[in-house]
Structure 1
């Protein structure tokens, strides 16, 4: 059963993400909130691998993230962040993106500022942009963790990231996800949320992971691996080490600040090819 929605506390949320700036519905505040969230709240799916159901219920997600210091996946984190932005006076809607497969694999946010300019917001993906990006065709945004580009292709928006291949002069923009601007309700993602938790065609089901941005990099737990990332001149330098299963709970506590209630079953299996038909937004 849901906890009382009246118990959701904006100040406790701001404290959780270590935000101490001014709270005004403008682009500067949005930038600071976005970066604070990504460097404080991990993108993680460990509930799936601890025998816990992920339920799209705002008070439950608030309790998980704010009170229990956990993270979550896109349907949890972006909805919770949308609630915070609304409380601070921002105009925000939920939209659907396709990372691979049908629409609804990913949820992100679209914020409209008082000037009328629209901004893409996403605190629910492990490898995404650090700062919000204005929704403008052809815009390129060089950030700490990479260079991102938005383009409009036959009525659909595409978010891309620059990746170097070989020499510094050799690079390509690779798609992160595609999306349109149709407003969605949270319940529209219910079927896909369940699918993500149980289908071997999804990353969430096949791999236990927890990842968080750092000021100059990122730290990721996956299965029995720890991946450390350092960003230098727009490039990512990664190192990987193995971790014994018995050390994982201590690592999660020391690195991400939480202790799991149930036993984690580490998983790091290949993602299977999707079937001919997969759930779509309801």
Structure 2
């Protein structure tokens, strides 16, 4: 495992304003490097900062240096996609004393049989008290809200959703239970990655014509409702809820409704220019 001291010069974690980040996600609890802290921080991050690709769709591009990511997700009140979320989250964790490894992995959810995706997603492996956990603050509304122990076959139940780790030789897969069937979500190995690898993965995800992040507006949020956790996703102009029983409350939005959902439901802080460009998407 790498430590904050080992990676400060490579990953630039010294640039992170930890108090500002904690205020952004609403975390006021302990910050010692424990499992309880890791769990609380991941949950607060996912509930507090949405998944979104607005900059890609509006032609602005995505930069992964921590100063830019912090300004966007923390200061400006925006969201981001997996690499932005997890590089920010990793930097904060290391500043708090956690030992972790940043990994690039392959998305399997929704793949055709035998289909292999590039390493377009990122996850973190965090070690606490001798136990390793899969921690992912940037998967969107279908990902685990809390760390998942890296123990083959162990089931982690979170707000009615179930996840588990499935070992395939050197490959580790995160699975989710969908209609009583375990479905692969992502898969990874322990290849050592550097910032330049994330730069290349970011370029592919934000420029490849068939990338879902390039095709259409794609935003997701996990919300705390009166009846528990609500997982919402907006793709193009269609918004829907994901539940353990399937898709619910699906509807197509007008341009005005789209802006309102992005601002009020997804909680993305929009400027007047943002709103103008979103409405021009048609």
TM-score, normalized by length of structure 2? 0.84
Correspondence 1:164-243 to 2 at 5 A: 164=179, 171-215=180-224, 216-229=229-242, 231=243, 234-236=244-246, 238-243=248-253
How does the TM-score come out when normalised to structure 1?
0.84
Q: Does 1:55 align with 2:55?
A: no
| Deviates most, 174-183 or 95-104 | 95-104
The correspondence for 2:260, drawn from 219, 243, 250, is 250
Query: Mapping of 1:23-172 within 5 angstroms?
Result: 23-100=31-108, 101-113=116-128, 115-126=129-140, 127-144=142-159, 146-164=161-179, 171-172=180-181
* Structure 2 gap segments, 5+ residues each: 1-11, 109-115
CA RMSD of aligned residues (A): 2.0
* CA distance in structure 1 between the partners assigned to 2:13 and 2:127 by the alignment: 25
After TM superposition, give the deviation of residue 121 of structure 1 in Å: 0.4
Q: Aligned to 1:53, what secondary structure does the other structure show?
A: coil
Structure 1: 5+ residue stretches without partners: 165-170, 268-282
Larger helix percent: 2
Q: Matches of 1:138 and 1:257 in 2, distance apart?
A: 37
Task: State the Cα deviation string for residues 47-79 of structure 1 (Å, max 9, x = none).
Answer: 111111101111000000000111111111000
Aligned residues: 254
- Which whole-Å CA distance do the structure 2 matches of 1:6 and 1:184 have between them? 19
